[in-house]
Amino acid sequence: MASPSSSMNPPSPGLKTYFKTPEGRYKLQYEKTHPAGLLHYSHGKSVSQLTIAHLEEKQASQGPSAPSPPSSSSVVKSAAARLFVGVNGSKTFSHGGTNGGSKLASGTNKFGGTFGASTGSSSSPAVANYDVKGAYLVFNAGDTLFISDLNSQDKDPIKAIHFSGSNPLCHAFDSEAKDGHDLLIGLQSGDIYTVSLRQQLHDLGKRLVGAQHYNKDGAINNSRCSCVAWVPDGNGIFIVAHADGNLYVYEKNKDGAADPSFPVIKDPTQVTVAHARSSKSNPIIRWHICQGSINSMSFSADGVYLATVGRDGYLRVFEYSKEKLFCGGKSYYGALLCCAWSPDGKYILIGGEDDLVQIWSMEDRKIVAWGEGHNSWVSGVAFDSYWLAPSSDGSGEYSMYRFGSVGQDTQLLLWDLEIDEIAVTARYHPHGGSPTYSRGSTSAHWESVPPVGTLQPPPSMRDVPKLSPLAVHRVHVEPLSGLIFTKESIVTICRDGHIKIWARPRADDDNSDANSEAGGIVAAHASKDGRHAAAAPSARANGSGFKQQTASAFARN
């Protein structure tokens, strides 16, 4: 996959290949990109998103589960489905690259390839003979879904899957998938596919193979898919959010030919959940959540709560299986673009068009702090679940969190959140000790925990403690669209689908860093031994920095 042109990847002047944090340097390890010539998409329309997929060494014994998807005759009508007519079992089983001529054309389908056939159980045992175990980056750019090897130096993707007619926009991987289908893909047209990632890696063609197709041609909802997710421990249940504020629940491998006939939405401002009348229907449930797009959603790690954010600026947290709104609130202003849970499910990060990273507390059911530091919209947020709080005593209780955010300002920011500080400031000094703030409704912010099932108005600027980032780094030339923390690194992606992998600081090169790279605040803190160095002194420094921030926030006139 030779790059026909380098015009899309100009050398990036002024972009450093490392950045410093209290615990040491993060260094640019790998860059991933895609062939520029493939992009003929309309500017700005499609934004690259990133999914990391870990493929385990798969045992040959796949459960006999996974009902073969019924291939209904209605399928062939669909333009998008025509793509897959050429897909047939034989390709999937052919080993060792013998299927070099994998140009898929509908005419060559000797086996009368049933659309979406050979999914799941039938194909995986054969597939499993290949060693494709490893970590993969799945990302979309234009009309193509790319797959790259996370741990190789190779810049180019190992696989490109073209979609004709519509662009893939969002995707999700289910590492717990019981059968072969673990990759979920949502398109601009509203169409949705599930496939086996393994199977795509074995196939040499440029089309999706062995796919199951849902919401064909947008028959149920033709607005853009904005976000897709597998329901944790859901046995193949997945949800798809659309740009029109609706979210659908699907069952994997269930044929969706039946007309789901959901009732008309009477009041688009209200949340309504409707179950399909027919048991044959797929999707099985429709949630109407908001007016305008649902921009992002995320399940808490235990799968109990589902958080959504959208164009209307609201974060909504639902008790997923109860289908009930639990809590939520409005951004400071503008749409919200991203959200992420803390590993322990106590906090949610939200970011959006107010340039803020806000921290929502599930216990307080309100915003407890916000981070100021981005110079443009915040497009991605994530907690670093691998980062060990320096002060953590092993009790399992977090008192400090590390998180990251990326924005359209092309910057990656890292933050520390120390809970005690916030709690003290917020609960015991609701007015910042200053009588000038006691007017109006603003002070009500801290007085009580709002009742379950209600949405909070935007926080007032003077009520919310402010955080400052501990690291600010310009990582790409283009606006960023996402970040993921892995055990070894931070992975960032920009709008155009360029990826950078930032290796975490290593304990053994901290000393040299501190000594060689002219002092500064960071070097001063980064003492002796790697991770622990971040512990007492520097973390305190951060904490106290935050305290000052908080204080000044309240003292501000």
Partner 1 sequence: MVMGATVSKLEKALGEQFPEGERYFGLENFGNTCYCNSVLQALYFCIPFREQLLEYYSNNKNVGEAEENLLTCLADLFNQINSSKKKTGVIAPKRFVQRVKKQNELFRSYMHQDAHEFLNFLLNELAEILEKEGNDVKDSPGPSSQTEMNVNGTVHLQDNGPKKEPLLTWIHKSFQGILTNETKCLRCETVTARDETFLDLSIDIEQNSSITSCLKNFSSTETLNAEDKFFCDKCCSLQEAQKRMKIKKPPSILVIHLKRFKYIEQLGRYKKLSYRVVFPLELKLSNTVENADSEYSLFAVVVHVGSGPNHGHYISLVKSHNHWLFFDDENVEMMDESNVQTFFGSAQEYSSNTDHGYILFYENLDGRN
Query: What is the smallest separation between the CB atom of 242 and partner 1, expressed in angstroms?
Result: 13
What whole-number distance in Å separates Cα of residue 547 and Cα of residue 532?
A: 22
Find the binder of partner 1 among 477, 507, 523, 551 (CB under 8 A).
477
Interactions with partner 1, residue window 40-59 (CB under 8 A): 43-45
Query: Are 366 and 445 contacting, i.e. CB atoms less than 8 angstroms apart?
Result: yes
The CA-based dihedral angle spanning residues 217, 218, 224, 228, taken in that order and rounded to the nearest 10 degrees: -100
What whole-number distance in Å separates Cα of residue 117 and Cα of residue 122?
A: 9
How many CB atoms neighbour CB 511 within 10 A?
Answer: 16
Q: Which stretch binds partner 1 (CB under 8 A): 37-45, 89-97, 257-265, 315-323?
A: 37-45
- 150 touches partner 1 by CB under 8 A: no
CB-wise, 10 or 100, nearer to partner 1? 10
Strand-pairing partners, residue 43, are: none
Amino acid at residue number 505: P
Letter string b/e over residues 436-448, b meaning 16 or more CB atoms within 10 A of that residue's CB: ebeeeebbebbee
- 332 touches partner 1 by CB under 8 A: yes
Query: What is the smallest separation between the CB atom of 334 and partner 1, expressed in angstroms?
Result: 4
- 39 touches partner 1 by CB under 8 A: no
- Whole-Å CA distances, 166 to 217, 281, 338: 10, 24, 23
What whole-number distance in Å separates Cα of residue 165 and Cα of residue 83?
A: 10
| Tokens representing residue 120 in the block | 């799941």
- 410 touches partner 1 by CB under 8 A: yes
Find the binder of partner 1 among 376, 391, 511, 527 (CB under 8 A).
376
Size of interface with partner 1, in residues (CB under 8 A): 32
Find the binder of partner 1 among 77, 130, 269, 333 (CB under 8 A).
333
CB-wise, 14 or 112, nearer to partner 1? 14
Find the binder of partner 1 among 143, 203, 244, 355 (CB under 8 A).
355
User: What is the chain's alpha carbon radius of gyration, rounded to the nearest angstrom?
Assistant: 24
Find the binder of partner 1 among 104, 137, 335, 414 (CB under 8 A).
335
What whole-number distance in Å separates Cα of residue 262 and Cα of residue 270?
A: 16
- 5 touches partner 1 by CB under 8 A: no
Q: Which stretch binds partner 1 (CB under 8 A): 89-97, 114-122, 454-462, 546-554?
A: 454-462
Find the binder of partner 1 among 125, 303, 458, 545 (CB under 8 A).
458
Phi, psi of 365 (to 5 degrees): 55, 45
- 174 touches partner 1 by CB under 8 A: no
- Angle value at C-alpha 168, between 163 and 169, nearest 5 degrees: 165
Q: What is the DSSP track for 422-446? A: HHHHHHH-TTTT-GGG-SSSGGGGG
Query: What is the smallest separation between the CB atom of 43 and partner 1, expressed in angstroms?
Result: 5
Interactions with partner 1, residue window 265-324 (CB under 8 A): 292-293, 313
Query: What is the smallest separation between the CB atom of 389 and partner 1, expressed in angstroms?
Result: 31
Query: What is the smallest separation between the CB atom of 349 and partner 1, expressed in angstroms?
Result: 19
Binding mask 488-527 for partner 1 (x = CB under 8 A): -------x--------------------------------
Query: What is the smallest separation between the CB atom of 352 and partner 1, expressed in angstroms?
Result: 8
Q: Is 186 helix (H, G, I), strand (E, B) or coil?
A: strand
- 254 touches partner 1 by CB under 8 A: no
What whole-number distance in Å separates Cα of residue 447 and Cα of residue 436?
A: 17
Q: Over 3-47, what HEC string results? A: CCCCCCCCCCCCCCCEEEECCEEEEEEEEECCCHHHCCCCCCCCC
CB-wise, 120 or 371, nearer to partner 1? 371
Using DSSP bridges, classify how beta strands 347-352 and 305-310 pair: parallel, antiparallel or unpaired.
unpaired
Query: What is the smallest separation between the CB atom of 475 and partner 1, expressed in angstroms?
Result: 12
Sites of contact with partner 1 (CB under 8 A): 10, 43-45, 243, 292-293, 313, 332-335, 353-355, 374-377, 408-410, 442, 458, 460-462, 477-479, 495, 557
